[in-house]
Amino acid sequence: MEQYDPRVDAYIEKAAPFAQPILKHLRQLVHSVSPLLTETIKWGFPFFDYNGSVCQMASFKEHMGFGFWKQKQLNDPGKLIKEEDGTAGSFGKISSLSDLPPDEILIDFIKQAIELNKAENKTPAIKKETTPKAPIEMPVDFADLLAANPKALEVYEKFSPSHKREYLEWIVDAKTDATRQKRMQAAIEQIAEKKSRHWKYK
């Protein structure tokens, strides 16, 4: 998109006489903050974008609105931003320049909105490669139990490597032989029912 959009010129020319000087002032103010801000028309209204929508203005018959796309995330110590009230803006109904906050405050809001968009569009950090876990060898007695239960064996062979590993880790991590035997029996029953190790939590 271009920094200036001729459709915004046309929008201002068609606006009510009271709104034209306000629209022109806001347009100039927005562009004074950053030459990287671009104009476009969305839903019939002028928008100013920088890595996404920053702010917008809208003109109606008797009032106009100027607002920020992420107004709820802006730092507003003076409580100047109003909740959405159908004015398509953040500052209520505007009919003259005096209805707007001072330019320095608007500039601060614009800068904040740009920074919010910058933060959301940062390239995600590249994940470090992790060392693959060493394979777990199938315990002989568990292999015998699987072989004795063709249904469980068939299901187990179709399991993903991660599902197989979950069962094997559970078995080999048993502290006592009694616990190990109990886990193997439970594993055979669950596998025969096509259940993963952590099926209860899915």
Q: Residues 74, 26: one domain?
A: yes
Q: Which amino acid is at 150?
A: P
- Compute the Cα dihedral for 47, 49, 52, 55 and give only its sign: negative
Q: Residues 196, 160: one domain?
A: yes
Asked whether residue 29 is domain-assigned, the answer is yes
The stretch 134-149 carries a mean pLDDT of 87
Contact (CB, 8 A) for 44 and 8:
no
The stretch 22-33 carries a mean pLDDT of 96
**How high is the pLDDT of residue 146?**
87
pLDDT band at 134 (very low <50, low <70, confident <90, very high): confident
Paired residues of 56 in beta bridges: 47, 67
Q: Residues 147, 185: one domain?
A: yes
Q: Give the domain CATH number at 90.
A: 3.90.1150.200
Q: Residues 147, 187: one domain?
A: yes
The number of domains in the chain is 2
Q: Residues 161, 83: one domain?
A: no
User: Residue length, the chain?
Assistant: 202
**How high is the pLDDT of residue 181?**
92
**DSSP state letters, 138-187:** PPHHHHHHHHT-HHHHHHHHHS-HHHHHHHHHHHHT-SSHHHHHHHHHHH
Q: Residues 184, 94: one domain?
A: no
Of the residues 120, 150, 183, the one at which a domain ends: 120
**How high is the pLDDT of residue 26?**
97
The continuous run of DSSP H or E covering 7 comes out as helix 6-14
Q: Which residue has the higher pLDDT, 122 or 164?
A: 164
**How high is the pLDDT of residue 89?**
81
Which residues span the domain enclosing 152? 140-201
Q: Residues 100, 183: one domain?
A: no
Asked whether residue 60 is domain-assigned, the answer is yes
The stretch 10-32 carries a mean pLDDT of 96
Asked whether residue 43 is domain-assigned, the answer is yes
Q: Residues 95, 147: one domain?
A: no
List pLDDT tens digits, range 52-66: 999 999 999 999 999
pLDDT band at 182 (very low <50, low <70, confident <90, very high): very high
Asked whether residue 126 is domain-assigned, the answer is no
Asked whether residue 108 is domain-assigned, the answer is yes
Average pLDDT, the chain: 88
Asked whether residue 125 is domain-assigned, the answer is no
**How high is the pLDDT of residue 122?**
60
Tokens, residue 104: 């320095």
pLDDT band at 82 (very low <50, low <70, confident <90, very high): confident
Asked whether residue 131 is domain-assigned, the answer is no
pTM, whole model, 2 decimals? 0.58
Q: Residues 86, 157: one domain?
A: no
Q: Residues 26, 111: one domain?
A: yes
List pLDDT tens digits, range 93-132: 999 999 999 999 999 999 999 999 988 766 555 555 556 6
